[in-house]
Amino acid sequence: MAQDFTRKQVESIERRYDFKTARSLGQNFVTDPSVTERIIEAAGAGPKDLVIEIGPGLGVITSKAAQRCGKLVAIEIDKKLLPILAETVGWQPNVKIINEDVLQADLEAIVAEEKTLPDGSQAESVRLIGNLPYYITTPILNKLMALPELFTSLTIMVQKEVAEKMMAEAGAKNYGVLSIHVQYFCEIEYIMDVPKEVFLPRPKVDSSVLTLHVRKERAVHAEDEALFFETVKAGFAQRRKTLSNSLAGVRGADKAKVLAALAGAGIDPQRRAETLSLAEFAEVANRLI
């Protein structure tokens, strides 16, 4: 039977295995079954789906999620967790643990290899789930956003501040490259905040759970996707500069070309990057080609 992973149970597992959590690996385990339940609910995986989990830890989310989906493949870097996972989820035939660094893992190959469910059918959709290790949240998100077609949805727990950055809209202080990167590929559904007291050990900050629903079509039309992101990055690299200055140099564009692109897009060259919507960035980038 799947455990509930209450605080007492988590402490007891750690004691029995003499397991010491590694801060360096961002190990903060969820100890509230109602939070786990809501994360799994939000992931929305059913018996015909393959779920890829990043960082199963003790198996807190893994075990319960596997009861709902066709198959669950979890990628965990810490070898010391393997004997614990063997106890907590090893009895579930539709769970596979891959002992690897998620940043090194070939996610496309894993999905291709694991898409066949235990009943022999092919998974109808692939969903990602994970209470992400905080020290590599951004590289993980960059990796996932570079593979937008791989997943139907991504239900992730991240630091609250990072979640707010992802959701930020033009004009907000925390609006930036991350907001545009994620919003371009995904529609963001806010699920819940999770107070730091829920975790063992307790992190310094609160967390939030989001579901990123991968869009069938991108949020805006960028003729050259790479150029769109180069334009966004250049704009925010020098946040305090006006667009006419910060965008000079993108794909070799001189100031005159930037001014013409901004004028063509109907954007005042005195504006700054943080005021531009995704659509406006795309308008400018499409004119810098």
Q: Which stretch binds ligand SAM (CB under 6 A): 22-30, 112-120, 233-241, 268-276?
A: 22-30
191 is a contact residue toward ligand SAM (CB under 6 A):
no
Q: Which stretch binds ligand SAM (CB under 6 A): 72-80, 144-152, 167-175, 229-237?
A: 72-80
75 is a contact residue toward ligand SAM (CB under 6 A):
yes
73 SS3 class: strand
Nearest distance in Å: CB 110, ligand SAM = 12
60 is a contact residue toward ligand SAM (CB under 6 A):
yes
Residue 115 makes CB contacts below 8 A (sequence gap 6+) with 50, 122, 123, 126
103 is a contact residue toward ligand SAM (CB under 6 A):
yes
72 is a contact residue toward ligand SAM (CB under 6 A):
no
Nearest distance in Å: CB 239, ligand SAM = 30
Question: Which residue from 236, 212, 228 is spatially nearest to 278, judged by alpha carbons?
Answer: 228
Nearest distance in Å: CB 53, ligand SAM = 7
Q: What is the 8-class DSSP label of residue 251?
A: G
25 is a contact residue toward ligand SAM (CB under 6 A):
yes
- Whole-number Å distance between alpha carbons of 263 and 269: 8
Q: Do the beta carbons of residue 111 and residue 128 sit within 8 Å?
A: no
Half-sphere exposure of 235 (CA within 13 A, CB side): 30
63 is a contact residue toward ligand SAM (CB under 6 A):
no
**Burial of 61: CB neighbours in 10 Å, binned 0-12, 13-18, 19+:** buried
Q: Which two tokens stand for residue 32?
A: 């509230």
Question: Which residue from 207, 40, 185, 58 is spatially nearest to 127, judged by alpha carbons?
Answer: 40
Candidate residues 3, 13, 30, 153; the one interacting with ligand SAM per rule CB under 6 A: 30
Nearest distance in Å: CB 54, ligand SAM = 6
Distances (CA, A) of 288 to 221, 234, 259, 285: 14, 13, 10, 5
| Pick 28 or 231: Cβ nearer ligand SAM | 28
76 is a contact residue toward ligand SAM (CB under 6 A):
yes
**Burial of 59: CB neighbours in 10 Å, binned 0-12, 13-18, 19+:** buried
Q: Which stretch binds ligand SAM (CB under 6 A): 70-78, 108-116, 244-252, 275-283?
A: 70-78
Question: For the chain, how big is the Rg over CA atoms in Å?
Answer: 21
CA 140 distance to own-chain centroid: 7
User: What residue number has its CB nearest to ligand SAM?
Assistant: 55
28 is a contact residue toward ligand SAM (CB under 6 A):
yes
Candidate residues 85, 88, 133, 182; the one interacting with ligand SAM per rule CB under 6 A: 133
Sequence length of the chain is 289
Nearest distance in Å: CB 169, ligand SAM = 28
| Pick 78 or 283: Cβ nearer ligand SAM | 78
Between 135 and 154, how does the x/- string for binding to ligand SAM read (CB under 6 A)?
Answer: -x------------------
61 is a contact residue toward ligand SAM (CB under 6 A):
yes
Which residues contribute to the site for ligand SAM (CB under 6 A)? Answer: 25-30, 54-57, 60-61, 75-78, 101-103, 131, 133, 136
